[in-house]
């Protein structure tokens, strides 16, 4: 069986996997990071979105062997010290951007990739970007509000750091 | 998904020999179509040969008359490229409208063309612009490359390395997309070139992407495009749109594409 190694949330990890193992399975089953959800397993719902080398991807539609050597961030990697949430997570909480929470990890990971590329997105750009993330509870309204607020907070954090 | 043996060669030439040697090998580019197809067991390759290590297949360059895009360049990279936006803005817009952001971060130009899905966007641009498909063996003109639904001129052991797009005077793409998948119900690419207009239609034809020569003639003579002469019997019908509806949309999308070309 192939061996894969990659950096996940800043830690070096490796494992022996079947070639057909999906990145989502490797993250959930080998690394036991179950914050990355598998909703549809058909590349449509976006619950499994993680960052690979800084870009959001659907981890159910990428082989673990394809991520060999990559730098991967999952939802668990955002609040690094465990207590302080990432501003985007905080914004979802403050704006009631979730109900059942199943889609939330993918929504947050997708949203952060958007803000990295477009620090001040309009509501219509946010909605457009969420094409690949499906939520069956909220009707998206509060998710869009959360992402706009999260983007503002991320801009503030960046300005403060400079 | 059935298991397979996995290889990740460092060059397209090595990948082509691995493909030739495999019992039932498949090339893995971005995997955004192939992996879902394998999960459904509609494809069961013995070997997957990944192109992720072939760095020479990634990149975008322009010499002012030709825009060259490496086969492993993602849709997201094409959509975000200032080089592409300057040379062929219609191609940027087309790439930015494929699937969703995560699919665009993985899916590639070469993968889309090798698959030749009858509702994919890139075939319309490649045929509409009269591009050249460069492979590990030869150069194939777009007019010879697309050979029917999921059929191309590629040999079993041939891999696309790049696509060369001649930069047109102007171009536009308009698609009426399936709201769930973002695949084209009908997409029309119009290019104004020194040799006259070229019009390619995706999403509509039973044989995949095709050139609409009558619409090219209408644009050349300054008429408003219309789809009256398109044979409805050659068009797809499904739960999303009947052949008659697709025929109508070809005219509407041709007008919009022409308007966006300016």
Whether residues A120 and A155 fall in one domain? yes
CB contact under 8 A, B101 and A129: yes
Is B31 in contact with A56 (Cβ distance < 8 A)?
A: no
What is the total residue count of chain B? 262
Same domain, A157 and A91: yes
- Structural domain tally of chain A? 2
Residue A137 domain-assigned (yes or no): yes
> Does residue A72 sit in the same domain as residue A91?
no
Q: Are residues A73 and A113 in the same domain?
A: no
Instruction: Record the tokens describing residue B73, joined without a space.
Output: 């360049």
Residue B93 is encoded by which pair of tokens? Answer: 């817009």
CB contact under 8 A, A114 and B101: yes
**Residue B165: Cβ-neighbour burial (10 angstroms; 0-12, 13-18, 19+):** buried
Q: Are residues A69 and A100 in the same domain?
A: no
User: For residue B76, what is the nearest residue in chain A, using CA coordinates?
Assistant: A55
What residues of chain A lie within 8 A of the CB of B50, using their CB? 65-66
* CATH code for the domain in which residue A40 is found: 3.10.20.30
Residue A8: is its pLDDT beyond 90? Answer: yes
| Residue A43 to residue B28, Cβ atoms within 8 A | no
- Residues of chain A positioned with their CB less than 8 A from the CB of B100: 46, 131-133
User: Residues of B with CB below 8 A from A41's CB?
Assistant: 39
Give yes or no for residue A82 having a pLDDT over 80.
no
- pLDDT band for position A64 (50/70/90)? very high
**d(C-alpha B48, C-alpha A2), whole Å:** 13
Q: How far apart are CA A34 and CA A15, in angstroms?
A: 17
The predicted pLDDT at position A81 comes to 77
Q: Is the CB of B41 inside 8 Å of chain A's CB atoms?
A: no
Looking up tokens 């009947």 gives B242
Instruction: Outline which parts of chain B fall under CATH 3.30.465.10.
Output: 58-261
Domain assignment of residue A155, yes or no:
yes
B-interface mutation test, from A45, A57, A111, most B Cβ less than 10 A away: A57
Establish if A124 belongs to a structural domain: yes
Minimum CA–CA partner of A23 in chain B: B35
Give the pLDDT score at A61. 98
- Note whether B182 contacts A58, CB cutoff 8 Å: no
Q: Does B33 contact chain A (CB < 8 Å)?
A: no
Measured between beta carbons, the chain B residues lying within 8 angstroms of A56 are 101-102, 105
Please tell me whether residues A73 and A102 are part of one structural domain: no
Both A123 and A155 in one domain: the answer is: yes
Q: Does A8 share its domain with A72?
A: yes
Outline where chain B has alpha helix (H). Answer: 12-21, 34-39, 75-80, 82-87, 89-96, 101-106, 109-115, 122-128, 142-145, 213-220, 243-261
Considering chain A, what is the average pLDDT of its residues? Answer: 96
Domain end among A53, A77, A101: A77
Q: Which chain B residues have a beta carbon less than 8 Å from that of A55?
A: 76, 105
Q: What's the domain range around A131?
A: 87-161
- Does the domain formed by B5-49 have CATH 3.40.462.40? no
Domain check: are A99 and A157 in the same one? yes
pLDDT of residue B211: 97
A148: which 2 tokens? Answer: 């706009």
The size of chain A, in residues, is 162
B52 to chain A: which residues are within 8 Å by CB? 66
CATH of the domain at A92: 1.10.150.120
CA distance A84 to chain B (A): 27
- Residue B205 β-bridge partners: B235
In chain B, CATH 3.30.43.10 sits at 5-49
Strand order across the B60-62 sheet? B60-62, B66-70, B160-166, B132-135, B139-141
Asked if the Cβ–Cβ distance from B35 to A65 is below 8 Å, we say no
Q: Specify the pLDDT at position B179.
A: 80
pLDDT, residue A83, reads 80
Cα-based torsion angle of the residue sequence A38, A44, A45, A48 in order, rounded to the nearest 10 degrees: 40
Mean pLDDT throughout A45-68? 98
CA atoms within 13 A on the CB side of B28: 28
Per-residue confidence (pLDDT) for residue B181, from 0 to 100 = 79
Q: Which residue has the tokens 């069961």?
A: B44
Facing A61 at nearest CB: one of B5, B8, B32: B32
Q: Is B1 on the interface with A (CB under 8 A)?
A: yes
Asked whether residue A69 falls in the same domain as residue A10, the answer is: yes
**For residue B237, what are the CA distances in angstroms to A58, B19, B205?**
31, 36, 9
Look at residues A17, A43, A77 and tell me which one is the last residue of a structural domain.
A77
Cα–Cα distances in Å, from B18 out to B23, B51, B153?
Answer: 10, 11, 20
DSSP B54: -
ipTM for the predicted complex comes to 0.95
Among A20, A55, A65, whose Cβ lies nearest the Cβ of B1? A20
Residue where a domain terminates, one of A26, A48, A77:
A77
B53 contact A CB<8A: no
Q: Which distant-in-sequence residues (6+ apart) come within 8 Å of B93 by Cβ?
A: B79, B173, B260
B3 to chain A: which residues are within 8 Å by CB?
18-20
One domain, residues A95 and A35: no
pLDDT score of A38: 97
CATH of domain B58-261: 3.30.465.10
Burial class (CB in 10 A: 0-12, 13-18, 19+), B170: middle
For residues B19 and B27, give the distance between their C-alpha atoms in angstroms, rounded to a whole number.
7
Residue A82 lies in a domain: no
pLDDT of residue B129: 98
Pull the structure tokens for residue B11.
């060059």
Of A20, A55, A63, the CB nearest to B105: A55
Q: What is the mean pLDDT of each run of 10 residues along chain B (262 residues)?
A: 95 96 96 96 96 96 97 98 98 96 98 97 98 98 97 97 98 92 92 97 97 97 96 94 97 98 87
In the numeric block, the tokens 């075939």 are attached to B123
């Amino acid at each position: 069986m192939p061996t894969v190694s990659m950096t996940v949330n800043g830690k070096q990890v490796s494992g022996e996997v079947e070639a057909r193992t999906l990145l989502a399975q490797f993250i959930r089953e080998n690394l036991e990071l179950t914050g990355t959800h598998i909703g549809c397993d058909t590349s449509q719902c976006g619950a499994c979105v993680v960052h690979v080398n800084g870009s959001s991807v659907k981890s159910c539609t990428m082989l673990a062997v394809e991520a060999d050597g990559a730098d991967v961030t999952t939802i668990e990697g955002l609040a690094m010290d465990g207590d302080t949430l990432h501003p985007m997570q905080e914004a979802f909480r403050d704006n009631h951007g979730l109900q059942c929470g199943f889609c939330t990890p993918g929504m947050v990971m997708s949203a952060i990739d958007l803000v990295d590329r477009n620090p001040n997105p309009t509501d219509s750009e946010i909605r457009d970007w969420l094409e690949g993330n499906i939520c069956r509870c909220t009707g998206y309204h509060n998710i869009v509000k959360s992402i706009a607020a999260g983007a503002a907070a991320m801009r503030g954090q960046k300005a403060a750091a400079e | 998904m059935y298991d397979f043996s996995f290889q990740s060669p460092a060059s397209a030439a090595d990948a082509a020999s691995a493909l030739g040697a495999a019992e039932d090998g498949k090339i893995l580019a971005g995997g955004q179509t192939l992996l879902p197809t394998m999960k459904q067991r509609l494809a069961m390759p013995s070997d997957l040969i990944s192109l992720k290590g072939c760095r020479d297949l990634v990149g975008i360059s322009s010499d002012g008359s030709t825009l060259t895009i490496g086969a492993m360049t993602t849709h997201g990279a094409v959509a975000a490229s200032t080089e592409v936006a300057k040379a062929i803005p219609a191609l940027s817009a087309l790439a930015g409208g494929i699937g969703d952001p995560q699919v665009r971060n993985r899916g590639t130009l070469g993968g889309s063309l090798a698959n030749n899905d009858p509702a994919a966007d890139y075939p319309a641009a490649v045929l509409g612009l009269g591009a050249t498909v460069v492979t590990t063996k030869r150069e194939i003109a777009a007019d010879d490359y697309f050979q029917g639904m999921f059929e191309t001129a590629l040999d079993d052991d041939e891999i696309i390395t790049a696509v060369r797009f001649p930069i047109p005077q102007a171009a536009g793409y308009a698609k009426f997309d399936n709201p769930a998948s973002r695949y084209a119900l009908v997409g029309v690419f119009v290019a104004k070139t020194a040799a006259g207009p070229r019009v390619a239609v995706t999403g509509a034809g039973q044989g995949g992407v095709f050139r609409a020569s009558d619409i090219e003639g209408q644009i050349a003579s300054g008429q408003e495009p219309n789809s009256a002469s398109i044979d409805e019997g050659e068009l797809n019908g499904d739960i999303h749109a009947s052949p008659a509806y697709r025929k109508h949309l070809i005219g509407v999308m041709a007008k919009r594409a022409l308007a966006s070309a300016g």
